[in-house]
Amino acid sequence: MSQADDDRHEIRQLIEDWALWRDAGQWSRFATVWHPRDGSMSATWFHGSATDFIKASREGFENGVSILHFLGGHAADIAGDRAIAQTKMTINQRASIDGVEVDVVCTGRFYDFLSRHEGRWTIVRRQPIYEKDRLDVVDPAATLTLDPELLGRFPTGYRHLAYLQTKAGFTVREGLPGLTGGAVEQLYADGAQWLAGG
């Protein structure tokens, strides 16, 4: 195999490790996927350092917050010791809204800025792209009426996820990248600049 093939294999394994170790609550292993100094994470409910994200994720996990990730297709663009990886994913969250248990499934991509640090690939920055989502009641006999004003505050790509998280007490960020639009175009520009050494 070529060096590029080796790099792509290692990067894919890194992305899979992120999902498995985070969702399983294996926090010491999860910490190893991030760049030790510069790692950062953005999400609907969080923006900050990898260290703070691990702490917040652990606190949520220990308090029963149920957020799971599933991965799909993957591609990586590599330029020396830097890379941009895109991985199809779903975010699955279960919680109660107004006393009714629901599942929200959000489909999108993980957009990762990576660098080789001390001989191995690490995540420097992760920004999900939120493409579409849906909400289902867990009990088919249950009924739930959503507040259209609250639902309408958020972009199409993650409005149900944001609705659930807001109801659960999270402060949800607005204007995050979706399938199209200015936010995702800026993210792509940032990725191109990263690969160019900026």
Q: Does position 107 have pLDDT exceeding 90, yes or no?
A: yes
What is d(CA 145, CA 147) in angstroms, rounded to the nearest whole number? 7
Residue 1 has pLDDT above 70, yes or no: no
Reported pTM: 0.95
Give the domain ranges of the chain.
3-175
pLDDT for 116-171, tens place per residue?
Answer: 999 999 999 999 999 999 999 999 999 999 999 999 999 999 999 999 999 999 99
Q: What was the pLDDT predicted at 166?
A: 96
Q: What share of the chain is helix, strand, coil (3-state, %, to 5)?
A: 35, 35, 25
pLDDT in tens, 34-91: 999 999 999 999 999 999 999 999 999 999 999 999 999 999 999 999 999 999 999 9
* pLDDT surpassing 80 at residue 97: yes
Residue 3 has pLDDT above 90, yes or no: no
Q: Provide the CATH number for the domain formed by 3-175 in this structure.
A: 3.10.450.50
At 67, list the tokens: 């957020």
Q: What is the 3-state secondary structure (H, E, C) of the chain?
A: CCHHHHHHHHHHHHHHHHHHHHHHCCHHHHHHHECCCCCEEECCCCEEEHHHHHHHHHHHHHCCCEEEEEEEEEEEEEECCEEEEEEEEEEEEEEEECCEEEEEEEEEEEEEEEEEECCEEEEEEEEEEEEEEEEEECCCCCCCCCCHHHHCCCCHHHHHHHHHHHHCCCCCCCCCCCCCCHHHHHHHHHHHHHHCCC
pLDDT in tens, 4-41: 889 999 999 999 999 999 999 999 999 999 999 999 99
